[in-house]
Structure 1
Amino acid sequence: MNGQISINGHGDVIKGEPWFEDGNILLVTKEIPTGYRVHQGVLSRHSEIFSHMLEMPQPTHSADLFEGCQIITLYDLPGELANLILALYDGPTFLNRNIGDFFYLAGILRLASKYFIAHLRRQAIQFLGITWPSTLEGHDVMIEAALTVRPVDNLTYPFVHPLHVLNLANEVDAPILIPSAIYFLSIYPLVDFIKGDHPKLLVEHPSRPSASLLSSDLLSYSLMYQHRLQLMDDFMHQFCKQHGSKPACGVSTACEKGFSRLVTQLQRIWNLKSGPLHFIAQAMQKVSSCSICSKCCSKFVHDCGDLRQRIWDELPMLLNLPTWQEMSRS
């Protein structure tokens, strides 16, 4: 809705959308003064903060009213507040088509956390958890999408930098998102995001989370980076070697050579940005082409599955966080 209105004490205010003519509350943002005329009952029903705020004695002086509506000044970004209000009335539209969808969600999650709007906060965190998952199965789906989804605006899936996700999770106290965010952040060399010139960090938007790495997160990043490289080294030179030296079939020579060939193949695809979970999954696919008997292949694939699950389960503990199950219940 276009146009301006004049409000005592606020001067000229942009008439924002939504604007309900029968609304009885006027929310006005301090920065870029914008007004939203809404219904007290809707705000009180969904938000503990608004409910308590609106329980206070109502103003009677005309300077504190606009067409009979109580005026409430908020220190929020107009775009974020508008999206929050529309989400309260119509429900949110969470998608992952481009980086703009992340910024839309970030704004709603930020204000839903600030104003104690539990259902919107829960929905936003659950949607983020599809891309930054708390399960190994979710991780595998995310990796498959990253390998197959085409770039959008020259940004690869999942379009947003994990540093933005990490800082948003810290900002709104959503620890369940942190292990995945730091795991994927550890794939980036430290110099990349210290310089801050990665294309995903350069996208400007009012709702963009901080692009700076907290000192406490620097330690977590360093631990994850070293852990990630150590896992792959141990996998190639201990896990695979052990399966070759002690084959399930009991016939050492042929299968031992086969596992040596597997390690050689893995060394060719290994690089500093390899993630151990996907790397081990690749080994599970390659083992059958290395002249290893079916019994040894089956044992290797089974043990790899157990190893991947164990690695996943231990990620939160590496960062001194509660278990995945404990965080999902909080």
Structure 2
Amino acid sequence: MNKITPLHKRGDPWFDDGNIVLVPEDSSIAFKVHRDFLSRHSEIFKSMFELPTPTSEVPLLDDCQVVPMYDLPFELSNLIKALYDGTGPLEDFLYTAGILRLSTKYFITRLRIQAIQHLVQTTSHIHMSILYMSSTSLGRTNVQVIIPSVLYFLTLYHLSDLLSGNHVKLQVDHPSCPSADLSPQDLQAYTIMYQERIQIILRFIRHTCGERTAVHGCQSSVTCTKAFTRVSSRLSRTWRVRTGPLSYMVQVSDEVAEHDGICGPCKRPFRQDVTTLREDIWRRLPSVVGMSSWEELTKNDMPKP
């Protein structure tokens, strides 16, 4: 005789014409869905639903087979709804992190790629920090393409603050909020990227600005050279440890463009050189922590169909 499970709270989604019920572990919430639909999107789901179970031991709920799930109800609900209706509020970082985790776990390539595509465009420093915590501590998502930029932004925070996990964004009461634990490998990568970030700033101040000479066609080579020297001197006194070099370079370029002591012929190549330098720094960022190129990382994490 089949085992009738106690009535659970109907979760979202719950389809009256569904033919299988998913029940997260240690949860009173159940999701009634369509076996074939989920199987079509995930080989893992298909295999789970096909596992042989003695007929007499199959638990039933609402006349449907019950399948235990080892996921957070909140994240499982979001995953199922994303399969049926498309992804939800990707701008909600923790929502996206949950989708990434479960789409990776259940080999749902479409949702995984959508989540990764959104995350690589994330520019919020603290979101990048949470993303690193999530991907290393809880995620088990094996997403490599986000790591170089995440590490870059992570180094804008003091290590002691990261280890304590006391930032307000890390204390949000949310099912998908990650742990603040960092592994020895994480700490090593953080340190290497931190040192490189500082060196980038110093090289920019001392060489790109401080050793700048007048270009051909300069209207006053002595005046422009002295002006760049003064700019470098001021920057060397005012930069901060938490300065992000990529945005910092744009700010300096804009300041030089407005500088009365530098002529137009010298301003234009300086802006172009800064643009080229920023592009080169970004291109080389993965190699700082021993990773493949952006192109290779993108190819591996977001393969084209």
**TM-score of the aligned structures, taking structure 2 as reference length:** 0.89
Say which of 45, 51, 58 aligns to 1:50: 45
Which deviates further from its counterpart, 295-304 or 115-124? 295-304
Equivalent-residue separation in structure 1 for 2:19 and 2:188 (angstroms): 50
Equivalent-residue separation in structure 2 for 1:167 and 1:284 (angstroms): 33
Q: Residues 93 and 67 (structure 1 numbering): CA distance in 2 closer, same or farther, change over 3 Å?
A: closer
Assess if the C-alpha contact under 8 Å between 1:262 and 1:290 holds in 2: no
Shift of 1:67: 4.1
1:85 counterpart residue number = 80
Say which of 166, 178, 187 aligns to 2:132: 166
Equivalent-residue separation in structure 1 for 2:203 and 2:197 (angstroms): 10
Q: Residues 78 and 11 (structure 1 numbering): CA distance in 2 closer, same or farther, change over 3 Å?
A: same
Q: Secondary structure at the match of 1:204?
A: coil
Assess if the C-alpha contact under 8 Å between 2:227 and 2:261 holds in 1: yes
1:33 counterpart residue number = 28
Assess if the C-alpha contact under 8 Å between 2:155 and 2:193 holds in 1: yes
2:187 counterpart residue number = 218
Identity of aligned residues (%): 41
Does residue 253 of the first structure (1) align with residue 222 of the second (2)?
yes
Does residue 17 of the first structure (1) align with residue 5 of the second (2)?
no
Assess if the C-alpha contact under 8 Å between 1:43 and 1:50 holds in 2: yes
Shift of 1:320: 1.1
1:302 counterpart residue number = 272
RMSD over aligned CA atoms reads 2.1
Query: Deviation string for 1:55-100 (max 9, x for gaps)?
Result: 344653264333442211111111111111111111111342xxxx
Assess if the C-alpha contact under 8 Å between 2:170 and 2:178 holds in 1: no
Assess if the C-alpha contact under 8 Å between 1:247 and 1:256 holds in 2: no
1:228 counterpart residue number = 197
2:93 counterpart residue number = 102
Equivalent-residue separation in structure 2 for 1:193 and 1:9 (angstroms): 48
Equivalent-residue separation in structure 1 for 2:231 and 2:215 (angstroms): 14
Letter in 2 for 1:44: S
Equivalent-residue separation in structure 2 for 1:22 and 1:57 (angstroms): 23
Equivalent-residue separation in structure 1 for 2:126 and 2:158 (angstroms): 17
Equivalent-residue separation in structure 2 for 1:299 and 1:110 (angstroms): 46
Say which of 48, 57, 66 aligns to 2:61: 66
Return structure 1 stretches of 4+ with deviation > 6 angstroms: none
2:120 counterpart residue number = 129
Letter in 2 for 1:104: Y
Equivalent-residue separation in structure 1 for 2:260 and 2:235 (angstroms): 12
Q: Secondary structure at the match of 2:146?
A: helix
Q: Secondary structure at the match of 1:92?
A: coil
2:176 counterpart residue number = 207
Does residue 320 of the first structure (1) align with residue 290 of the second (2)?
yes
Letter in 1 for 2:79: L
Q: Secondary structure at the match of 2:66?
A: strand
Equivalent-residue separation in structure 1 for 2:197 and 2:57 (angstroms): 63
Assess if the C-alpha contact under 8 Å between 1:40 and 1:54 holds in 2: yes
Shift of 1:197: 1.6
Q: Secondary structure at the match of 2:68?
A: strand
Letter in 1 for 2:133: N
**TM-score of the aligned structures, taking structure 1 as reference length:** 0.83
Letter in 2 for 1:49: I
Gaps of at least 5 residues in structure 1 are 1-6, 132-141, 143-157
Letter in 2 for 1:221: Y
Q: Residues 58 and 21 (structure 1 numbering): CA distance in 2 closer, same or farther, change over 3 Å?
A: farther
Q: Residues 63 and 324 (structure 1 numbering): CA distance in 2 closer, same or farther, change over 3 Å?
A: closer
Shift of 1:36: 0.8
Equivalent-residue separation in structure 2 for 1:159 and 1:218 (angstroms): 18
